[in-house]
Structures are given as structure tokens and as C-alpha cells.
Structure 1
Amino acid sequence: MSGASSGEVRDGSQREEQGISKLFRKTLVTVLVAGGTFLLTNVLNQKSSDMWQWTLSIILGSATLIVQYLVDFGERLEGIEENQKKRIRDMKDRLTAHHMEMLKVVDESFAKINAATELFSQVDRSVLRSDGVTRLARKYTQVGEQGSDIVKTFAQEEIGRLASLMESLSNGSADCPGENHEWLIDLTTCVKKTLYATSTDVDRDFWSSEPAKRYLAVQGDAIKKRRVEVRRLFLVDEPEDVTESLRKLCERQRRFGIDARIAVQSLLEPSAQVTPLNDFIIFDGELCYETEPDVRVVPAKTTLKMTREHVAERINRFNVLWEASEPTEPVQPAASG
């Protein structure tokens, strides 16, 4: 038997005992009143008939019983009224609490709607294209509704990464570990006027990779379709570093229409010598893509910098190096295709 059942049995027994006690008390009071009345009338008027004494005793006893029940009824009625008042107060409190919760939910919902409306209004007013943002929000919602757990988690990570990138770009600088070939290719796809780049021995192995083929292809498209001027300066320390493979690399890039030169720093004027020098690429004179090598002389970090002072310093550095070098071969027109 559970604790709840035991409690109900005890409560029922207590109520039954209380009911028996009240009935016994009412009966006892009634008998005492009736008996007392009979004795009193008998003492006061001994000449009266017994019928009159019994009648009076019964009437007073009945009246006493009725009065007791009326008192009991009044107490119960007061208890019921008090319980009703308590229930009404509780109901009002619950309704008030529910009303406040509903107001809070409605306020939060309207706040979210206002925030979303303001956000999309800012997107529409922006000079950037808004269709991509709308498509991203719609597809992200669909992934949340239909995707598996791992897909949802992956989508959240990608959205977070994209949001961090946008936040960094808005602050004028963004970075990521290693060499980000996707940034490099995407920026080349977006360039409209000029692409000035340096290349040190840190990224020599890059030119034989698959990303390098795509990078050269999009540079060729930029030169042919948008008339972008592409200059690349290969930097070496000493004349013996100018190898046959480096000359062939320059020749290959010239076939894409790239103005490629080799600069030997030890042969440059002291004012043109810059050490140490990281690989950097300047897009349209507005954004600088840089890689920083680690102790093993491999790209350990990629940085995008858009501050005017930094970009201007990189442009000046590139122009000094470029003017101090001489073209070894004429630039050939980009191959048609």
C-alpha cells in the first residue's frame, strides 16, 4: 500500500470519527435539554398532566437539535465561502501570473520580430547583395528542420565561422591558421583592377599544387575578361638562388598574361632591400592577403588586412621592389580559351 493510500485512509477515519463525535454531542445536548425541561416543568407545576410536560420537553429538545444543526450549517457555509474566496484569490493570482507570462512572451516575440525586421532592413539598405543573406537564412532554417544531428551541428559550426569572419572583416582584419587557398582564389575572382604579389621561397612548393592551378586559371580569367593588371615578384636572396625551375615558373606565369619578375635582394640598392619579408598580395590597392611562416618556413597563418595605413605601406614596399627589378622576359598575352 502506498503512502498516498495510507494517508487517505487515515483522513477518512479521522473525518468519520469527527462525524460520530459531533452526532454524539448533538444527541447528548438534545437529551439533556429535553430531560432538563421535563424535570423543570415537573418541579414547577406538579399538577399539570404528563402530556404537557412531555410535549414541552420534546419541543425544546427538537429546537435545541435544530439550533445545533443550524449552527453547524452556518459554520460549514462560512467554511465554504472562505474556501471559495481562497479559490477565487488563487485563480486571480494564477491568471495574473499567466497574463504576465503571456505579456513577456509576446514582448519577446515582438522584440525578435523587430530585431529581424531591422536586420533585414539594414541588409536591404546595404550596398552588398542581400539575396545571398536571404538564401542563407532560408536554407539554414531548412537544415534545422530536416537535417540529422551531425548535419545540424556542422551547419551551426559553419554559421559561427562565417559570422566570425564577417565580424573580423568589419573590424578591418581577419586571420586563420595555415594558408587559406579558398580566400586566395575567391579574392582573385573578385579583383577588378590590380593584383600585386610577392613570392618568396616559403611558397615555392605551392606552385606545383592543385590550388595553384586554379589560382593561375582565375588570374588568367581576370586578365582576359576584366583587364586586371597582375604583377608577381619572385624574391630570392642571392644570384645562385635563381634556378632553372624558377625561370620556368616565371615563363609559365607569363603565358597567362602575368607580368612576372625575379628580384635578387643582394643585388638591390640598400633602400630596396627588405628583410624579413612575408609573402603578400595586394588586391585593388584595398586589401592585403599575407602569409606568415613558422619555424619550418611553411605558411602557418593567413591574414587579411584592410586598414589604409597597412595597405599603403605594402603598396609602397612592392613598388620599391618592383622598380628596383628588371623584367627578364617580355610579358606574353594570355592564352585564349
Structure 2
Amino acid sequence: MTGESMAGRRPAPLRETSSVVRTLVLTVASGGLTFLITNGLHQDMSISIMLSILIGGIALMVRFLVDFEKRLVGVEEMQKAGMAEMKGLILEIGEATKLFGQIQSSRHASLVTELVTNSTRIPPDSPPIIHQFVEAKVRETSELLKQIADGGTATYYGEDRDWLLGLTRTATKGIDAISMAAVDHDLWQSEIGQRYLDAQRRVAEDGRRVRRIFVLDEPAMAADPILRRVYEEQIDMKIQVRLLYWADVPARLRVQVRDLIIFDNALAYETTPTIGDPRLAQVAETRLVLTASRVHECAVLFGELWKVSHEPQPVPDVQRNA
């Protein structure tokens, strides 16, 4: 036992000893004072002694009752504090049990457990930037999960890659995409574009449907050697490719046409380009649409555009070699 803990235990016996001494002093003083008074009044010695003993006993009982009441009040306060602490503990246990039950019933129980386990492995003495970065990523993931659970819209400011690649790799039924050729002109040569295409290739090779509509501003764009190489490469990857000239888009649908990807007819991935030259535009905002009615509207839009689009025409070898 340490000196500090010993020191912490000493005051209680001292206080108890002090209280006993005060009680004895009060008892003796009361009896002595009574004896002096009765003796001064020339009372019989036996009466003086009896009164002294009686008054001293009464003082002792009063003191005892006062101390008992104080101790009783202290015990009641300790009991109330203990009950409050016990209630808090029971509530915490209840919440923990409820949370544990929710985790166990989830399809992602092992992943949630792994996340918690890995987060506890970060040393407490790690640099503050590490803890702040981890907290930011966990908060970001938590917010995304909340938005998905609420079935609304998740927004990422800028060009997202994790959502795009992750959704492509995990698609179970099919992928339908509307590609604005002018905006996506340089996408397919970029690092993220190559990864995106490779992920789609794997989906198509597994027998899942992958369709893409290239929306062209004018028919002459179909002869663009860069664009032609892009859609021919995608056709070789078993991706169903069609071209759609802007003039062939029904007037009632033109305001709805945008860069859009629909995964499994369950959610939609939309991008908003920056304003300016389409060939120089970049992604200003990425949205993950989870509302069932809006996803259905996107699926209907793709279906109508697919009907009025056409398959790319093969390029003659003379023109190809020109």
C-alpha cells in the first residue's frame, strides 16, 4: 500500500477519535457542572451524584442521537448517489446491449467489429494529426452511412473516385451510363478513367450487363479518332455502346440529359461539371442519389435515350488508316 493511500485513510480514524473525545468531554462536563450546581444548593450528596449521572447520561444520549442522525443522513446521501450511479450504469449497459444486438443482426457485423478493433489499436501517444485524420474519416463514413440509411442524397464536392470504383466493382445486376462525350473527352485517358474501365471490364466478363450511351453534340464527333478508339475499346470489353446525337434527343428530355451512372437500378451516380469550355470542364460536384423515386426517373431516362440511340457504325479501313 502506498504512502498516498495510507495518508488518504488516516483522517477518518482521527475524526472518529476526535468525536469520541468530544462526547466524553461533554458528558463529564455536563455531569460535573450538575454536581457543582446541586452541591452549591446544599443538596444531599447522593442526590447530587444521581443528578450528575442522570444529566451526564442525557447529554451522552443527545450527543449519540445527533451523531447517529448525521451518520444516517450521510448513509442516505451515499445510498442516493449509489442508486443514481447504478441507474446510469444500467442505462449504459442497456444501450451497449442494444447496440451489440444491432451489430450482431447486421449483415456487416464482422466489418463493424473489425473497424472498432482496428481503431483501438492506434496508440494513444500517436501524433495529434493521426487521431484527427482517423476521426475525420470515421465521421465521414458515419455521415455517408446515415445518408444511405435515410435514403436521401450523398454529396461529394469535387471528383470522387472511391464511390465510382467501389460501386462499379460491387454491382450485382448491371451498370447503365450516360456519358457526355464533350465533358468526358479526357476521362478515358486519365488514371481514374483507366481504373473505371478495368472495373467495368471485369463486371462485363462476369456476365453482368454494362451499357453506355455516348451523347455527341454533332454527328461529326463520331469520326473523332480519340472518341472512336474509346468506344471501340469498350466494345472489345463486352460493354454495350451506343451513340446519340444531340439533335436526336427528344425535346422533352434534353433538360434531363446529364452525366449519369445507374447501378443495379438501385442508386444513381451523378456528376456536375464546372461552367466553361466543356473540353476543359472538371467535376465540381458528385452526388449519390438513393431516393427510390429519383433513381426510377433516372432509369426511365436511360431507357428512353437507349431507344433513340444507335450502335456505332464500323469505320472503313481506308478511313481508319487515313
Report whether the alignment pairs 1:257 with 2:241.
no
C-alpha deviations, 1:42-77, integer Å up to 9, x for none? xxxxxxxxxxxxxxxxxx6996xx969x86x98777
Letter of the aligned partner of 1:257 in structure 2?
A: K
C-alpha deviations, 1:9-55, integer Å up to 9, x for none? xxxxxxxxxxxxx9xxx9xx99xx69xxxxxxxxxxxxxxxxxxxxx
Equivalent in 93, 111, 121 of residue 132 of structure 1: 111
Q: Determine the structure 1 residue equivalent to 2:287.
A: 303
* CA–CA distance in structure 2, aligned partners of residues 208 and 131 of structure 1: 38
Q: Determine the structure 1 residue equivalent to 2:130.
A: 151
1:131 to 1:79, Cα distance in 2 relative to 1, 3 A: same
Equivalent in 299, 309, 315 of residue 315 of structure 1: 299
Letter of the aligned partner of 1:222 in structure 2?
A: V
Q: Determine the structure 1 residue equivalent to 2:94.
A: 114
Compare 234-243 and 140-149 and name the one that shifted more.
Answer: 140-149
Report whether the alignment pairs 1:210 with 2:194.
no
* CA–CA distance in structure 1, aligned partners of residues 249 and 127 of structure 2: 62
> What secondary structure does 2:254 align onto?
coil
* CA–CA distance in structure 2, aligned partners of residues 179 and 189 of structure 1: 18
Any stretches of 5+ residues in structure 1 without a counterpart?
Answer: 1-21, 35-59, 331-337
Q: Determine the structure 2 residue equivalent to 1:288.
A: 268
Letter of the aligned partner of 1:139 in structure 2?
A: N
Q: Aligned-pair distance for 1:117?
A: 2.1
Say whether the 8 Å CA contact 2:158–2:284 is kept in structure 1: yes
Which structure would you say has the larger Rg? 1
* CA–CA distance in structure 2, aligned partners of residues 135 and 246 of structure 1: 44
Q: Aligned-pair distance for 1:124?
A: 2.8
Q: Determine the structure 2 residue equivalent to 1:169.
A: 148
Say whether the 8 Å CA contact 1:279–1:291 is kept in structure 2: yes
Q: Aligned-pair distance for 1:113?
A: 2.2
Q: Determine the structure 2 residue equivalent to 1:248.
A: 229
C-alpha deviations, 1:217-247, integer Å up to 9, x for none? 11111122x3111111121222344432222
Q: Determine the structure 1 residue equivalent to 2:120.
A: 141
1:321 to 1:272, Cα distance in 2 relative to 1, 3 A: farther
> What secondary structure does 2:265 align onto?
coil
Q: Determine the structure 2 residue equivalent to 1:197.
A: 177
* CA–CA distance in structure 1, aligned partners of residues 115 and 67 of structure 2: 52
Q: Aligned-pair distance for 1:82?
A: 4.6
Compare 84-93 and 276-285 and name the one that shifted more.
Answer: 84-93
> What secondary structure does 1:166 align onto?
helix
C-alpha deviations, 1:76-133, integer Å up to 9, x for none? 776665554444333333332222222222222222222222223233333x232111
* CA–CA distance in structure 1, aligned partners of residues 93 and 54 of structure 2: 57
C-alpha deviations, 1:198-224, integer Å up to 9, x for none? 111333333222222211111111122
Q: Determine the structure 2 residue equivalent to 1:5.
A: none
* CA–CA distance in structure 2, aligned partners of residues 153 and 241 of structure 1: 48
Say whether the 8 Å CA contact 1:144–1:152 is kept in structure 2: no
1:205 to 1:113, Cα distance in 2 relative to 1, 3 A: farther
> What secondary structure does 1:203 align onto?
coil
1:155 to 1:105, Cα distance in 2 relative to 1, 3 A: farther
Q: Determine the structure 2 residue equivalent to 1:48.
A: none
- Alpha carbon RMSD of aligned pairs, Å? 3.5
* CA–CA distance in structure 1, aligned partners of residues 156 and 56 of structure 2: 79
Say whether the 8 Å CA contact 2:249–2:305 is kept in structure 1: no
Q: Aligned-pair distance for 1:176?
A: 1.9
* CA–CA distance in structure 2, aligned partners of residues 180 and 167 of structure 1: 19
- Indicate the percent of aligned positions where both proteins have the same amino acid: 27
Q: Aligned-pair distance for 1:153?
A: 3.0
C-alpha deviations, 1:247-278, integer Å up to 9, x for none? 22212222322222332112x05357523532
C-alpha deviations, 1:127-160, integer Å up to 9, x for none? x232111111222233375655433333222222
Count how many residue pairs are aligned between Structure 1 and Structure 2: 276
1:149 to 1:131, Cα distance in 2 relative to 1, 3 A: same
TM-score, length-normalised on structure 1? 0.69
